[in-house]
A and B are shown apart, each in its own frame.
Chain A
Amino acid sequence: MKGNKSHPMDLFSSAYHIHLDRQVLTVSELTSQIKEILEGTFVGIWVEGEISNFRRPSSGHMYFTLKDEATQVSAVIFRSLNRDLRFIPKDGLAVIAYGRVSVYERRGEYQITVEYMEPKGIGALQLAYEQLKERLAQEGLFDPARKKPLPLLPQRVGVITSATGAAIRDILHVIHRRFANLEVILYPVQVQGETAAGEIARAIEEMNRRGKIEVLIVGRGGGSIEDLWAFNEEKVARAIFASRIPVISAVGHETDYTIADFVADVRAPTPSAAAEVVVTSKDQLSQRMDELIGRMLSSLQLRLQRYATSLSHMKGRLQALTPQGMLKLQRQRLLSVTDWLERGSFAILQMKRESLQRAVGKLGALSPLAVLERGFALCMRLPSLKIVRDAEEVGIGEDVLVRLFQGKILCQVKEREI
């Protein structure tokens, strides 16, 4: 029971006990101690998580939450470190962050101050590339309608690349080999390393200011994605886009496109190919000239031929209308009539001849000679040679001529039988 009584006392006394030993901290002191412990302990740590609630106010600092299935922690990337990030963080992205824990005393909160961060899974460069590509595409930097046509006949070509690299050698090789008669102005730049992108962008701007240059080749020989990185940087992309001079990108990597390739007015897969683009335009023009001259000549020839044909046609018609021509025409008609006549009369003659022959044949059958051949004889009075058909026509003792098949005989009538 006593204990019961003392119960409130106990409570009190325990509180009292606490009270006696107490060392009261102000909130600031507490926070300061927490800060000391946390910031002293969690330095140079790697944390893995997913970004959420990402925001970037006008201050330029980036604020977000790193979380996993169970919990979360706030994180910040200060503006001064933003530049070193090669991608833009966004919600849902799995990342590995390096940094330290810091305590934000005003709000009694702790957060991770990120000093370096990379996307988990794909490489940071790859992600940066994809993100920049998407952003610039949306801005219209790759718009085909914004691409400038290359000059028809460039005389002065600007080349932005390393003075000692393979790219300039390859370009000059093509130009010499093709007798291109081009003026090449090389603006030497670093094509890899920290300063490369800045140098390339500046070179593009300065070449534009110089004037007289009609086309720019910007590029380098092949390399790894890190080597080519300058051509994936935003400042290079923007400088190409802003260039008044048409730009041919020539980053020596046939399969992968750099951001510069997308922005450039023409993309050549290699520096040699870029030089060929410039030189070929000249060859093609020269071919086009030949074609135009040929067409011009043949169209005139055709016309002259047409004139000549119609002229000779007219001359023919005119000639037919002169007196000589008329005479000739009539003579021709006469000739043809004569000819026709001749041919006609010959045919008639032939016909007559044939019918005559037929008649002669018939005659043959009726000829007395044919009768004589069979042994009959003709008896004729003399001198009339009248054929005797009746014995009464001749007197006794009268001479008659008897005709035989072969020859004649003179006979005297000795008797008559009537």
Chain B
Amino acid sequence: MEEIPFEEALKRLEAIVAKLETGSLLLEEALQAFEEGVRLARVCSKRLEEGETKISILLRSENGKLEERPFEVVPEKEDEA
């Protein structure tokens, strides 16, 4: 469940909501679907929250390969003043 791609989790969640809304499920099925929906929603929300801002720049090293280095924005002239 944790490994499923965000797009798929969202798609499955949407399908579950649609199925719940038709009201055609038996109560047991509905509760099961609800439970899965909650799990999927949790996965999706977590994916939305996770990660942190990281800025890097690709620089060509001597052997011609590109290497990632942390990147700091050069401040504008006005900022320096």
Q: How many residues of A contact B (CB 8 A)?
A: 37
Q: Which residues of B contact A172 (CB under 8 A)?
A: 55, 73
Across the interface, do A296 and B37 meet the contact criterion of CB distance under 8 Å?
A: yes
Partner of A295, one of B6, B17, B56, B66: B17
* A303 to B33 Cα, complex, angstroms: 13
* A172 to B53 Cα, complex, angstroms: 10
* A183 to B52 Cα, complex, angstroms: 7
* A195 to B67 Cα, complex, angstroms: 22
- Asked whether A359 is an interface residue with its Cβ less than 8 Å from the other chain, the reply is no
Across the interface, do B21 and A299 meet the contact criterion of CB distance under 8 Å?
A: yes
Q: Which residues of B contact A296 (CB under 8 A)?
A: 16-17, 20, 34, 37-38, 41
Given contacts A296-B16, A296-B17, whether A181 and B53 have CB atoms under 8 Å apart is yes
- Asked whether A185 is an interface residue with its Cβ less than 8 Å from the other chain, the reply is yes
Across the interface, do A181 and B45 meet the contact criterion of CB distance under 8 Å?
A: no
Residue of B nearest to A285 (CB): B48
- Asked whether B2 is an interface residue with its Cβ less than 8 Å from the other chain, the reply is no
Per the 8 Å Cβ criterion, residues 161-218 of A in contact with B are: 163-164, 168-169, 172, 175-176, 179-188, 206, 210
* A292 to B14 Cα, complex, angstroms: 7
Q: Which residues of A contact B16 (CB under 8 A)?
A: 296
Residue of A153, A180, A187 with most partner-chain B CB within 10 A: A153
Give the interface SS of chain A, mostly helix, strand, loop or mixed: helix
Q: Which residues of A contact B66 (CB under 8 A)?
A: 187, 206, 210
Per the 8 Å Cβ criterion, residues 269-314 of A in contact with B are: 282, 285-286, 288-289, 292-293, 295-296, 299-300, 302-303, 307
Partner of A300, one of B34, B56, B68: B34
On B, residues with C-beta under 8 Å from A are: 6-7, 10, 13-14, 16-17, 20-21, 23, 27, 30-31, 34, 37-38, 41, 44-45, 47-59, 66, 68, 71, 73-74, 76
Given contacts A153-B6, A285-B44, A300-B20, 7 further A-B contacts (CB under 8 A): A163-B74, A183-B56, A286-B45, A289-B48, A292-B13, A299-B17, A300-B34
**Shortest 10 CB-CB distances between A and B: which pairs?**
A181-B51, A299-B20, A186-B57, A183-B54, A153-B6, A184-B55, A296-B37, A187-B58, A299-B21, A293-B41
